[in-house]
Amino acid sequence: MPENDEIIRLENVYKIFGPQPRGRAFDLAQAGVHKNEVQRQSGHVVGLSDVSFSVKKGEIFVVMGLSGSGKSTAIRTVNKLHDVTHGQVLVDGVDVQQLDGKELQAFRREKMGMVFQHFALFPHRNVIDNVAYGLKVQKVDRAERERAARRALRLVGLEPYADNATSELSGGMQQRVGLARALASDPDILLMDEAFSALDPLIRRQMQDELMAIQSEVKKTILFITHDLNEALRIGDRVCIMKDGVVVQIGTPEEILTEPATGYVAEFVQDVDQGRVIRAEEVMESAEPVRLDEPLEQVIATLTTVQSTFVVDAEGKCCGLVSKEDVDRTAINGTPSLANAMRTDFPTASPSQTLNELYAEAGRGLPIACCDSAGVLIGKIEPTAVLEELGRVEALADAFEREVYM
């Protein structure tokens, strides 16, 4: 039984291209034969081989892989632009392969919006007409489609350009019009195939940020295709990595980075700036702080077993960091007390910060206090842990590479 928060499911899907898709090529693919070999023996192209994944409502699910890995083929089974050779595709509980004609059209229209790499806008129509075009085809009345189109334009930040011709807009803006067009009919699902791949890097990042912001506002389910692992890890709640028609790994960005399932994934991961996606909470340890009102002797006793310790107030808020040297120093200068001895300019982080953001703090060589938004200490991070974690995946990838490619 599918879980009830699941909205798209591909189950053991095969797609073979050629005159006899269910013939020998399919038998070979089912036996796990690589697509190149299937091609050699049967002259048929394996698009998808035993592909299964499920997308949860409201998540950004990214399918990532090199050119020819089957990404577009996979997304096209979801709206039945492709029939499948074998397996099942369920969208919101509906077996899409069973749909045809008007029923299929209505289903696509209600459930999903599509955004492609090439925006496919009408250059001489103005922005709002492009956005409202789908609704016009659906015979939605004029006032209603204006309203829907304006709402969509507002979401992508283009409302002021509603009356401009699309040919007057930059590439990034045109892609926003494409996104607005997909959002205009308020579908549950957005299918985005390399939607940002034609944009230059800065604009592309901006679009990724905006997509995430829009998603958190309108809570759509987004099936996003890219050949760029950085993009996948940046925007994906979960990422599915494909190679030669086969799924090689599905996981959160953190899982993909820290536990690459195969040498192939590890090799990809090597090129990625891991610090950007690994979060502070993943390298955080328990802090075991002392309390500000503890007797100094007790604190000194604690400091015989650890180099330094954080100090918290009665509410658990972190107010200082103290080491044995700090206590000794104040003992020379005057009355030793914990409040006098501890340093209050200790480094802090929130659990959701990425390791890259902590890098500078870690460079101070002091433990980092990991605090919630109220300042309550929830853990500590040793500066060496940040550096180790940043180096770890790289080492892992090296090892895999030696093993697999020797």
Ligand X SMILES: Nc1ncnc2c1ncn2[C@@H]1O[C@H](COP(=O)(O)OP(=O)(O)OP(=O)(O)O)[C@@H](O)[C@H]1O
359 binds ligand X (CB under 6 A): no
- Compare residues 125 and 227 and give the one whose CB is closer to ligand X: 227
Cβ of residue 53: shortest distance to ligand X, in angstroms?
14
Give the pair of three-digit tokens for residue 221.
Answer: 């389910």
Q: What is the DSSP string of 60-127?
A: EEEEE--TTSSHHHHHHHHTTSS--SEEEEEETTEEGGG--HHHHHHHHHHHEEEEESS----TTSBH
Give residues 1-30 in contact with ligand X (rule: CB under 6 A).
17
Side-chain half-sphere CA neighbours of 142 within 13 A: 0
What is the total count of residues that contact ligand X (CB under 6 A)? 12
Q: CA 243, 245, 248, 253 torsion: positive or negative?
A: positive
69 binds ligand X (CB under 6 A): yes
- Compare residues 169 and 191 and give the one whose CB is closer to Mg ion: 191
Cα 104 to Cα 96: distance, rounded to the nearest angstrom: 8
227 binds ligand X (CB under 6 A): yes
Cβ of residue 99: shortest distance to Mg ion, in angstroms?
23
Cα 15 to Cα 69: distance, rounded to the nearest angstrom: 12
Q: Kindly tell me which residue out of 73, 79, 174, 308 binds ligand X, with binding defined by CB under 6 A.
A: 73
- Compare residues 222 and 278 and give the one whose CB is closer to Mg ion: 222
- Compare residues 242 and 296 and give the one whose CB is closer to ligand X: 242
Cα 322 to Cα 158: distance, rounded to the nearest angstrom: 53
Cα 274 to Cα 276: distance, rounded to the nearest angstrom: 5
The stretch near Mg ion (CB under 5 A) out of 33-41, 48-56, 69-77, 106-114 is 69-77
CA 337 to chain centre: 48
109 binds ligand X (CB under 6 A): no
The stretch near ligand X (CB under 6 A) out of 4-12, 69-77, 101-109, 340-348 is 69-77
72 binds Mg ion (CB under 5 A): yes
Tell me if 324 sits within 8 A of 300, measured CB to CB.
yes
47 binds ligand X (CB under 6 A): yes
Measure Cα distances from 293 to 140, 298, 340 in Å.
69, 10, 12
Q: Hey, is 192 helix, strand or coil?
A: strand
- Compare residues 194 and 326 and give the one whose CB is closer to Mg ion: 194
Residue 187 contacts which entry, ligand X, Mg ion, none (Cβ below 5-8 A, type-dependent): none
The stretch near ligand X (CB under 6 A) out of 66-74, 120-128, 211-219, 359-367 is 66-74
Residue 109 contacts which entry, Mg ion, ligand X, none (Cβ below 5-8 A, type-dependent): none
The stretch near ligand X (CB under 6 A) out of 19-27, 71-79, 133-141, 387-395 is 71-79
Tell me if 89 sits within 8 A of 9, measured CB to CB.
yes
- Compare residues 45 and 300 and give the one whose CB is closer to ligand X: 45
Cβ of residue 15: shortest distance to ligand X, in angstroms?
8
Tell me if 80 sits within 8 A of 96, measured CB to CB.
yes
- Compare residues 229 and 338 and give the one whose CB is closer to Mg ion: 229
The stretch near ligand X (CB under 6 A) out of 62-70, 216-224, 328-336, 377-385 is 62-70
- Compare residues 86 and 317 and give the one whose CB is closer to ligand X: 86
Measure Cα distances from 401 to 248, 265, 274 in Å.
16, 10, 17
Sheet containing strand 308-312, strands side by side: 290-291, 308-312, 318-323
71 binds ligand X (CB under 6 A): yes
Cβ of residue 219: shortest distance to ligand X, in angstroms?
27
Which one-letter DSSP state was computed for residue 160? G
72 binds ligand X (CB under 6 A): yes
Q: Kindly tell me which residue out of 58, 68, 275, 375 binds ligand X, with binding defined by CB under 6 A.
A: 68
Cα 200 to Cα 65: distance, rounded to the nearest angstrom: 20
Give the pair of three-digit tokens for residue 123.
Answer: 């250059």
Cβ of residue 48: shortest distance to ligand X, in angstroms?
8
- Give kind and range of the element (H or E) at residue 48: strand 45-56
Cβ of residue 47: shortest distance to ligand X, in angstroms?
4
Cβ of residue 41: shortest distance to Mg ion, in angstroms?
25
By CB under 5 A, name the binding residues for Mg ion. Answer: 72
By CB under 6 A, name the binding residues for ligand X. Answer: 17, 45, 47, 65, 67-73, 227
